[in-house]
């Protein structure tokens, strides 16, 4: 009995250790199973969310391109019916000739180019074709009307009633910028040199642009594209302020003795009327008829663009050819 008890007593601690080890291993396995189940649930939820998002995007894609294809089908149907009607009226041979002519025209002038003439020698300006009402306009250059204690503004001291009446096409005198104030008052802005004014009064065809506040680079017109006739008869005027002129000089763009940099005639503007350079830039853009009173045609060129076409060809294509003058 004592031997059996001792044997059983010696085995009890080992059994206890085995039971404890097995219990811990079971707890670890259960914990891993629970984590695996939880991770599986999270991945399933994420997968379902992404699947739903992809399904919605695919549905939007089908709706958008389905509508586009529907309109495209209608357009093709309309084009095909119009071609059938033309074939019935004109005949197949005449229609083939017209298609060949259109294809040659497309090859010669791509969609992004304008079919200008080759030279300016044969251009004829229409003389007797006028499609607008003729009336005389005069402009107020000096105004004695006081405006409190402040000097006269750039556009004059017109009232709202005078401004509304000025929109009607009739013989009248307008407030249209460059209005001088009473004697002794400071300038209203946009002051030009007397020699520049004399030059601008002789211009008949004008290409003008401006750079104020050193806001852009000076882009010269392409000389190879400009004809000798345009170089002699078209005024290329670039309005700049003193800040821009100094920056151009630092870049190596010095005006010559005549005030030219390339084809551009540099006209320096002093006493700018507005602090905002973008607002000041609208003065030569919208009031070119005041700056060039003798000009018949004026082309405005943004400072971010370069002139690569002869200006006379532009006038011929957009005005004279279409008889829009």
With CA atoms as reference, report the closest residue to 158 among 172, 145, 141.
145
Domain boundary among 113, 134, 152: 113
What residue numbers bound the domain in which 28 lies? 15-113
Question: Do 295 and 202 share a domain, yes or no?
Answer: yes
What is the predicted pLDDT for the residue at 268?
97
**Total domains in the fold of the chain:** 2
What is the predicted pLDDT for the residue at 44?
72
Full 3-state SS string of the chain? CHHHHHHHHHHHHHHHHHHHHHHHHHHHHHHHHHHHHHHHHHHHHHHHHHHHHHHHHHHHHHHHHHHHHHHHHHHHHHHHHHHHHHHHHHCHHHHHHHHHHHHHHHHHCCCCCCCCCCCCCCCCCCCCCCCCCCCCEEECCECCCCCCCCCCCCCCCCCHHHHHHCCCCCCEEECCCCCECCCCCCCCCCECCHHHHHHHHCCCEEEEEEECCCCCCCCCCCHHHCCHHHHHHEEEEEEECHHHHHHHHHCCCCCCCCCEECCEEEEECECCCCCCHHHHHHHHHHCHHHHCCCCCEEEECCCCCCCCCCHHHHHHHHHHCCCCC
The fraction of the chain above a pLDDT of 70, given in percent, is 67
Is residue 46, in this structure, part of any structural domain at all? Answer: yes
Lowest mean pLDDT among 13-27, 173-187, 216-230, 267-281: 13-27
- Interatomic CA distance for residues 303 and 239, integer angstroms: 10
Domain boundary among 83, 113, 143: 113
Is residue 8, in this structure, part of any structural domain at all? Answer: no
pLDDT band at 5 (very low <50, low <70, confident <90, very high): very low
Q: What's the pLDDT tens digit per position in 290-305? A: 999 999 999 999 999 9
* Mean local confidence (pLDDT), 75-96: 43
Lowest mean pLDDT among 102-111, 180-189, 286-295, 308-317: 102-111
Q: What's the pLDDT tens digit per position in 166-225? A: 888 889 998 889 988 777 777 889 999 999 999 999 999 999 999 999 989 999 999 999
Look up the CATH number of the domain holding residue 240.
3.40.50
pLDDT band at 11 (very low <50, low <70, confident <90, very high): very low
Q: Are 291 and 297 in contact (CB under 8 A)?
A: no
Cβ contacts of 172 within 8 Å, gap of 6 or more = 135, 137, 138, 165, 166
What is the predicted pLDDT for the residue at 152?
64
What is the predicted pLDDT for the residue at 144?
77
Q: Which residue has the higher pLDDT, 11 or 309?
A: 309
Nearest 5°: phi and psi at 139? -125, 140
Domain boundary among 80, 113, 146: 113
pLDDT band at 1 (very low <50, low <70, confident <90, very high): very low
Q: What's the pLDDT tens digit per position in 119-175? A: 887 787 777 666 667 788 899 888 877 655 556 678 888 888 988 998 888 899 988
């Amino acid at each position: 009995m004592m031997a059996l008890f001792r044997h059983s007593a010696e085995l009890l601690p080992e059994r206890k250790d085995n039971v404890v080890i097995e219990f811990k291993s079971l707890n670890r396995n259960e914990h891993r199973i629970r984590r695996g189940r939880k991770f599986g649930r999270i991945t399933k939820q994420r997968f379902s969310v992404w699947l739903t998002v992809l399904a919605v995007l695919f549905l939007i894609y089908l709706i958008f391109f389905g509508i586009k294809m529907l309109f495209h089908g209608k357009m093709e149907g309309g084009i095909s019916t119009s071609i059938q009607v033309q074939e019935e009226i004109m005949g197949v041979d005449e229609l083939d000739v017209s298609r060949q002519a259109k294809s040659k025209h497309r090859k010669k002038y791509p969609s992004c180019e304008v079919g200008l003439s080759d030279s300016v020698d044969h251009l004829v300006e229409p003389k007797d074709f006028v499609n607008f009402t003729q009336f005389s306009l005069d402009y107020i250059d000096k105004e004695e009307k006081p405006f409190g204690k402040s000097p006269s503004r750039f556009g004059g001291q017109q009232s709202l009633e005078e401004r509304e009446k000025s929109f009607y096409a009739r013989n009248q005198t307008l407030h249209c910028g460059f209005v001088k104030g009473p004697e002794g008052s400071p300038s209203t802005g946009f002051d030009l040199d007397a020699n520049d004014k004399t030059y601008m009064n002789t211009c008949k065809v004008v290409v003008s642009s401006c750079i104020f506040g050193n806001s852009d680079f000076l882009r010269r017109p392409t000389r190879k594209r400009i004809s000798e006739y345009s170089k002699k008869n078209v005024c290329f005027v670039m309005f700049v302020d003193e800040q821009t002129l100094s920056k151009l000089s630092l870049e190596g763009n010095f005006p010559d003795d005549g005030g030219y940099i390339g084809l551009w005639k540099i006209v320096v503007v002093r006493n700018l009327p507005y602090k905002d350079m973008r607002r000041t830039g609208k003065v030569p853009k919208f009031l070119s008829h005041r700056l060039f009173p003798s000009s018949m045609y004026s082309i405005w060129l943004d400072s971010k663009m370069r002139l690569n076409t002869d200006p006379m060809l532009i006038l011929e294509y957009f005005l004279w050819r279409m008889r829009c003058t």
